[in-house]
Copies of this chain bind each other. A is one copy, B any other.
């Protein structure tokens, strides 16, 4: 890169990486995808998957590539949005590394495979990680915390909850997403009323799904609306 770009000796080039906070719901728990680092620094420590942004790719393309390489996940199937940039000069012992964190949400995803820089990849329950600041490498505890708050908050104001469900979903499934992520029970009847009265949240397909026991559930598809108006607030009420 040309040196005339710099207008001060205090400026230096940086490495730019993307890190991914990938969430899914498995066996009734909110899970985040972690890797065990196969290279220094933090060799052997758990971390969020990620890697260097390459030449000629956008940040989002880099995130999609790492999603495929490190987690073996096809990014077209899930929701991907930028979370923010983390650039504390001391966040990486190797030097100035600015990372762009991405948030990815998907339905029950396949068991991941290890990638290039990772010994192995696995789903970790979020409940076991919260509070344990020391576990993850780099500033990944902070990134994970912000990602979690982002998810919990976006459930209220957007239809992002459908990203955790498959193409066809029942209202029970959707309600379970909220219950797992908010850690609080919701009234099934009121939830149904709220969702169906919010235009564009879900649209009926006419089909049904037959659970092992109980009345069959109507199947829905994601609607066109993204912002929920009015929002679906997590009130203090009804924590069982």
What residues make up the interface of A, taking CB atoms closer than 8 Å to B? 1-2, 5-8, 10-16, 51-59, 82, 84-89, 94-96, 98, 100, 116-117, 157, 229-231, 233
C-alpha gap A171/B32 in the complex (Å)? 44
What residues of B have a CB within 8 angstroms of the CB of A56 in the complex?
89
In the complex, given contacts A7-B52, A13-B14, A59-B86, what are 20 additional A-B residue pairs having Cβ atoms less than 8 angstroms apart?
A: A1-B15, A2-B95, A5-B95, A6-B52, A7-B117, A11-B52, A11-B54, A14-B14, A14-B53, A55-B89, A56-B89, A57-B89, A58-B88, A59-B87, A59-B98, A84-B85, A98-B98, A157-B157, A231-B231, A231-B233
Contact with A16, one of B10, B57, B87, B231 (Cβ below 8 angstroms): B87
What residues of B have a CB within 8 angstroms of the CB of A59 in the complex?
85-88, 98
In the A-B complex, list the 10 residue pairs whose CB atoms are closest, starting with the nearest: A13-B13, A59-B87, A10-B54, A85-B85, A11-B52, A85-B100, A14-B16, A58-B88, A12-B55, A1-B95
Q: Pick the most buried of A14, A87, A230: most chain B CB atoms within 10 A of its CB.
A: A87
